[in-house]
Amino acid sequence: MKLLRYLKKYSVKAALAPLLKLLECFVDLAIPILTAKIIDTGLGTGDTLYIIRGCALMVLLGLAGLAVSVAGQYFSAVAAVGVSSELRRAAFAHIRSLDASARQTLGSSTIITRLTGDISQVQAGLNLFLRLFMRSPFIVFGSVFMAFSINRRLAIVFAFVVPVLAAVVFGIMRATTPLYRVTQAKLDSVVKVTRSTLSGMRVIRAFCREDDEVARIYEASDKLKDAQAHAGIISALSTPLSGAVINAATVAVLYFGALEFSVGGITSGEVVALVNYMSQIFIELVKFANLIVQVTRAAASAGRIASLFDVRPQLLYPAEESAGLLDSQKVAVRFEHVGFKYPGAGAESLSDISFSVRHGDAVGIIGGTGSGKTSLVSLIPRFFDASSGDVYLFGEPIKEIPRQKLRSLAGIVPQKPLLFSGTVRSNLLWGVSGICPPEEVDDELLWKALECAQAAGFVRDLPGGLDGVVEQGGRNFSGGQRQRLTIARAMVRALLALRAGQPFILILDDSASALDFVTESALRRELAKLRGKVTTFIVSQRVASVRSSDLILVLDDGRLVGAGKHDELLSTCPVYREIYESQYSGGEAGA
Alpha-carbon distance 143 to 149, whole Å? 10
Q: Is residue 543 included in any domain, yes or no? A: yes
Pick left, alpha or beta for residue 512 (phi over 0 → left; psi -120 to 50 → alpha; otherwise beta): alpha
Same domain as 190, residue 273:
yes
The residue count of the chain comes to: 591
What proportion of the chain, given as a percentage, has pLDDT over 70? 96
Is residue 270 within 8 Å of residue 36, measured between CB atoms?
yes
By DSSP bridging, strand 535-539 and strand 505-509 are parallel
For residue 322, the model assigns a pLDDT of: 53
Cross-strand partners of 564: 552
Cross-strand partners of 560: 555
For residue 39, the model assigns a pLDDT of: 82
Judged by DSSP in three states, 559 sits in: strand
Alpha-carbon distance 259 to 251, whole Å? 13
Q: Is residue 324 included in any domain, yes or no? A: no
Same domain as 430, residue 293:
no
pLDDT at 589 exceeding the cut of 60? no
**What is the secondary structure of 459-514 as a DSSP string?**
HHTSTTGGG-EE-GGGTTS-HHHHHHHHHHHHHHHHHHHHHHT---EEEEESTTTT
Q: Which of 394, 388, 285 is nearest to 331 (CA)?
A: 394
Q: Is residue 319 included in any domain, yes or no? A: no
For residue 433, the model assigns a pLDDT of: 64
Same domain as 342, residue 287:
no
Same domain as 344, residue 302:
no
Same domain as 95, residue 35:
yes
How confident is residue 329, by pLDDT bands cut at 50, 70 and 90? low
By DSSP bridging, strand 422-423 and strand 410-413 are unpaired
Q: Is residue 415 included in any domain, yes or no? A: yes
Q: What is the pLDDT of residues 436-471, one digit of tens each?
A: 777 778 889 999 999 999 999 899 988 988 898 998
Q: How far lies 553's CA from each of 172, 352, 365, in Å? A: 64, 13, 5
Same domain as 352, residue 285:
no
What is the mean predicted confidence (pLDDT) over 152-174?
79
Same domain as 486, residue 379:
yes
Alpha-carbon distance 333 to 573, whole Å? 23
Query: 253 or 353, which is more confident?
Result: 353
pLDDT at 550 exceeding the cut of 50? yes
pLDDT at 163 exceeding the cut of 50? yes
Give how many domains the chain has, as a whole number: 2
Same domain as 272, residue 208:
yes
How confident is residue 590, by pLDDT bands cut at 50, 70 and 90? very low
Q: Which of 278, 310, 342 is the last residue of a domain?
A: 310
The enclosing domain of 349 has a CATH number of 3.40.50.300
Q: What is the pLDDT of residues 354-364, one digit of tens each?
A: 999 999 899 99
Same domain as 133, residue 224:
yes
Q: Is residue 568 included in any domain, yes or no? A: yes
**Which one of 5-19, 173-187, 233-247, 305-319 scores highest in mean pLDDT?**
5-19
What is the mean predicted confidence (pLDDT) over 228-237?
82
Q: Which residue range forms the structural domain that includes residue 249?
A: 2-310
How confident is residue 231, by pLDDT bands cut at 50, 70 and 90? confident
Query: 303 or 344, which is more confident?
Result: 303
Same domain as 301, residue 422:
no
Q: What is the pLDDT of residues 205-229, one digit of tens each?
A: 888 888 888 898 888 899 888 888 8
For residue 591, the model assigns a pLDDT of: 37
By DSSP bridging, strand 331-340 and strand 551-556 are unpaired
Q: Is residue 322 included in any domain, yes or no? A: no
Judged by DSSP in three states, 205 sits in: helix
Same domain as 391, residue 305:
no
The enclosing domain of 126 has a CATH number of 1.20.1560.10
Judged by DSSP in three states, 223 sits in: helix
Alpha-carbon distance 584 to 591, whole Å? 10
Q: Is residue 347 included in any domain, yes or no? A: yes
For residue 537, the model assigns a pLDDT of: 93
**What is the secondary structure of 142-187 as a DSSP string?**
HHHHHHHHH-HHHHHHHHHHHHHHHHHHHHHHHHHHHHHHHHHHHH
Alpha-carbon distance 48 to 331, whole Å? 102
For residue 335, the model assigns a pLDDT of: 93
Predicted TM-score (pTM) of the model is: 0.68
Q: Which of 277, 310, 343 is the last residue of a domain?
A: 310
**Which one of 96-105, 160-169, 286-295, 384-393 scores highest in mean pLDDT?**
384-393
Q: Is residue 589 included in any domain, yes or no? A: no
Alpha-carbon distance 42 to 49, whole Å? 8
How confident is residue 321, by pLDDT bands cut at 50, 70 and 90? low
Q: Which of 563, 574, 429, 435 is nearest to 489 (CA)?
A: 429
| Dihedral sign, Cα of residue 307, residue 313, residue 319, residue 320 | negative
Same domain as 121, residue 241:
yes
How confident is residue 328, by pLDDT bands cut at 50, 70 and 90? low
What is the mean predicted confidence (pLDDT) over 77-86?
90
For residue 133, what is the DSSP state? T
Long-range contacts: 149-152, Cβ < 8 Å, 24+? 150/36, 150/266, 150/270, 150/273, 150/274, 151/257, 151/260, 151/265, 151/266, 151/270, 151/274
pLDDT at 587 exceeding the cut of 70? no
Q: Which amino acid is at 335?
A: F
